[in-house]
Copies of this chain bind each other. A is one copy, B any other.
């Protein structure tokens, strides 16, 4: 892709309305554009990142055997009256009257709707467990939307739901999601810590938040540093292995300020391992038994007896992760961003120095572009006639992890090549391709 043909409207300066660095960077690099309060359009650069995140989330759901469906954005109020949440939900729920004056709403979450789908489709315990997820837009009419897409009104989320015959089986499902979330965030190069959490309006008595460390995070966290060493790579999808994984994490004290207890923290965590910092919630899982299945009469036949199914729900903020990754990875002092390779909008950029009336560097750049394309690498090439220092400044903000710079003393065997935050190398194109591909396959 040529920069001059792309739709990446860069701003010269940080927009004053943006208070946190992800919001600043996303506006500045034209990833998003606000369309109304707390509602954003995703422009090509932001869209590409979000789609890559979505695909990782999807693959990791599929890997633990969750089936994808898609529920609509607009729901009827009836099922919410059945569960008892229609009145509870308050003004954050966007309530709508259609032309027939029926009470509708824009789904803020989907426990009710998925329970309705389940109860009308599944009759026997033999069809259990059922694990279903969808990735869909949601709406919460926040009183004060802020921080760009981190606390907006229309947002993109994966939510999953599990249906089981017993508490024991339901915990097995819960633990599958626990592992799946660890793997999901790891693929985005994020260290997400699972923390025991309150259940809030979803309800239930077992819940974990997955939190990534970021100075600008909205949650205070208190944790034992050793939790970062817990290894989930050998965990397999069976009850024992998953239970063990949960135990390994729960060995270490790790809570948000809601659950913080100073005495407990100091009693359980040796001073050298204590970490007090801030974090951002990127996932949240809940087990709530028959909280919805009972009022909504979602039961199965279990050897002639009617059993209410045991349910859990499991959310990942897909659009929110775009911002969370920036909060974790963007060095805003030096204005340098580096996307994790797995979600980067492009694999590599090519930055030629272009002087007026001299296209030779652009030609060299185009030749390299064509070779990289043949290796299935997605490349952005800067064909504008800006000077090199503003080009570098711009690409440092764009955060593409690899830069090829084509200047005066171009030498095919010693091409100027830089991985962001690392030293410049002078290597051949073959070595460049090897380096990028190696990073991609990690």
Contacts and interface: CB of A to CB of B under 8 A. Distances in A.
Interface string A132-163: 10000101010100000000011000000000
Interface string A71-100: 111111010000000000001101010111
A121 B33 contact: yes
Contacts of A98: 94, 141
B69 A44 contact: yes
A334 interface: no
A33 B74 contact: no
Contacts of A99: 91-92, 141, 143
Contact of A71 (B6, B41, B91, B116): B41
Nearest to A129: B5
B35 A113 contact: yes
A148 to B, nearest CB: 13
A39 interface: yes
Interface in A27-45: 30, 33, 35-37, 39-44
Contact of A44 (B33, B68, B92): B68
A143 B288 CA distance: 39
Contacts of A336: none
A137 to B, nearest CB: 6
Contacts of A70: 41-42, 47, 50
A126 interface: yes
Interface string A95-116: 0101110101010000001001
26 contacts: A4-B126, A5-B127, A6-B67, A7-B132, A9-B120, A9-B122, A30-B121, A33-B117, A33-B121, A35-B76, A35-B113, A37-B100, A39-B74, A39-B76, A41-B70, A42-B70, A43-B69, A43-B121, A48-B68, A50-B70, A73-B73, A73-B137, A74-B94, A74-B106, A94-B98, A137-B137
Interface of A: 4-7, 9, 30, 33, 35-37, 39-44, 47-48, 50, 65, 67-76, 78, 91-92, 94, 96, 98-100, 102, 104, 106, 113, 116-117, 120-122, 126-127, 130, 132, 137, 139, 141, 143, 153-154
